[in-house]
């Protein structure tokens, strides 16, 4: 049985940047969040495949 939420699956670091991957599993959707941080700039891309099939992508640029 899968947990309701998986958070902070891992950080991938390369030089001064890092990539954070978060997977959230719930009854109606699966959320995969990728956060790329370079210095003081963070880019987060979230993909939500929902039921019925649809795709939502949010891109945030934080400076």
Largest Cα span, the chain = 40
Does residue 26 register a pLDDT over 50? yes
45 forms bridges with which residues in the sheet?
34, 59
Per the model's pLDDT, the better-predicted residue between 20 and 16 turns out to be 20
Say yes or no to pLDDT of 3 above 60.
no
Pick 7 or 19 by higher pLDDT.
19
Where exactly are the structural domains of the chain? Answer: 6-62
CA distance 43 to 38: 9
Q: Is the pLDDT reported for residue 53 higher than 50?
A: no
Per-residue pLDDT for 36 more than 50? Answer: yes
What pLDDT does residue 45 have? 52
- DSSP E strand boundaries for 1-63: 6-14, 17-25, 30-38, 41-50, 54-62
- Report the Cα 35 to chain-centroid distance in Å: 6
Report pLDDT for 34.
62
Tell me the residue length of the chain.
63
């Amino acid at each position: 049985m899968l947990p309701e939420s998986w958070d902070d699956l891992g950080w991938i670091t390369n030089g001064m940047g890092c990539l954070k991957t978060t997977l959230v599993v719930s009854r109606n959707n699966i959320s995969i969040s990728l956060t790329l941080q370079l210095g003081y700039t963070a880019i987060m891309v979230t993909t939500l495949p929902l039921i019925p099939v649809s795709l939502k992508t949010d891109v945030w640029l934080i400076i």
